Amino acid sequence: MKKKSLNTLLLGTAFAAAPWLHAAAAPMTQQQITQLVDNTIKPLLEKRQIPGMAVAVLYHGQPQFFNYGVAETEHQRAVTQDTLFELGSVSKTFTGVAGGVAVQSGLINLNDTVAQHSPELKGEQWQKITLLNLATYTAGGLPLQLPDAVTDPAGLWRYYQGWQPQWPAGTMRNYSNASIGLFGALAVKNSGLNYADYLKKSVLQPLKLTQTFITVPPSAQANYAWGYQDGKPVRVTPGMLDAEAYGVKSGTGDMMKFMQANINPAGLSPENKVLAKGITRAQSRYYRIGNMYQGLGWEMVDWPIVPAEVIAGSGNEMALQARPASALKAPQSAVASSWVQKTGSTNGFGAYIAFIPEKQLGIVMLANKNYPNPDRIAAAWQILKVLADRP
């Protein structure tokens, strides 16, 4: 029954309102794409009472931007492609790419143990856990969030040193900010830079992401949206390892550039060869969990997907559940025929990015309300499925 209801959702308003779908296949016009996106996003905004959303679609290699509602309700400031939204866990894809660059630069090897890169962590458990385990949430049960009592570096290292795994490393995937956050911090340690500075130097600046921040500067505050929870304006509270796990803010203008680079890293300029290889490494497949492959930050499913499975798998009751993980005998390099994705949330924001490299097709959805992941993926699927079927 669940599959039937999900499929009914997928075949809902957007398809019913799109009569051109029955015509001979031909590239979609700007007007048709606008109608498709509007017919998908506007009902979602109303259903979930989302104040504002910025959407970016890549079709035939061409970026297109769609903006809805307001960035904040008090002054009714309209959403634009420059509006800054909190990305939540979509930030992990930046950590994955930065980690990939660190590998390509010789700063780390993913098979290095945590103990090799952290003199603070010499316990027996850390002699068996690798940086790859941290990056793929397979360290053995690190929690979703660090304890509230962990507020400074000394407390952070005490917590990790005292932590004990529930499962052998590499056997279970347990989605965790504490896991990939530590990976990001250790991956860049040998550079002599902190994570934020390394990310800026190795990823943001080469891709010309000038409006992507961990700490929004005064010059960009006017573009920073307010998130909404129970009708009240909220923004994320900084915490330990937030930059690595959930702390990036960006808009659809920059996120489109980031998505294009991830879709086609070979298209980057020669001076960005190390970054291109780092991007490819981040989309490599390291572990399989059901029908999903875990990369560095990114999650991949073979294309074409079974949408009901991907949508159902995005719900917190499944996405946050510890699940058996099978290591690939050798990591599989980035597969072009993949649905590559990541969701992200803070208390007041909800983000989603998905793309299909072989079709040069993708979508970014940034909202200033945290709404259910399945709704995000269903909406993205409604749009991308139509576009993927057109030449």
Q: Which residues are catalytic?
A: 89, 175
Determine contact, residues 260/63, Cβ cutoff 8 Å.
Answer: yes
Q: Would you list the DSSP string of 72-85? A: ETTTTEEP-TT-BE
Q: CA-CA distance, 381 to 156, in Å (whole number)?
A: 40
Rounded Cα distance between 133 and 381, Å, is 30
Find out whether 342 and 88 touch, Cβ atoms under 8 Å. no
Strand partners, 57: 64, 363
Q: How many CA atoms lie within 13 A of 308 on its CB side?
A: 10
Which secondary structure element, helix H or strand E, spans residue 274, and what is its range? helix 273-282
**Residue of 79, 93, 9 lying closest to 44 (CA atoms):** 9
Beta-bridge mates of residue 130? 113
| Cβ partners under 8 Å of residue 206, min gap 6 | 268, 271, 272, 275
Cross-strand pairs, 113: 130
Q: Which residues contact 379 (CB under 8 A, 6 or more apart)?
A: 40, 41, 44, 365
Measure the CA–CA gap between 245 and 146, rounded to whole angstroms. Answer: 11
Q: How many angstroms separate the CA atoms of 384 and 140, rounded?
A: 36
Which residues does 343 contact at the CB level (< 8 Å), separation at least 6? Answer: 88, 89, 90, 314, 319, 350, 351, 352, 373, 376, 377
**Rounded Cα distance, 348 and 140, in Å:** 30
Position of tokens 């930030």? 91
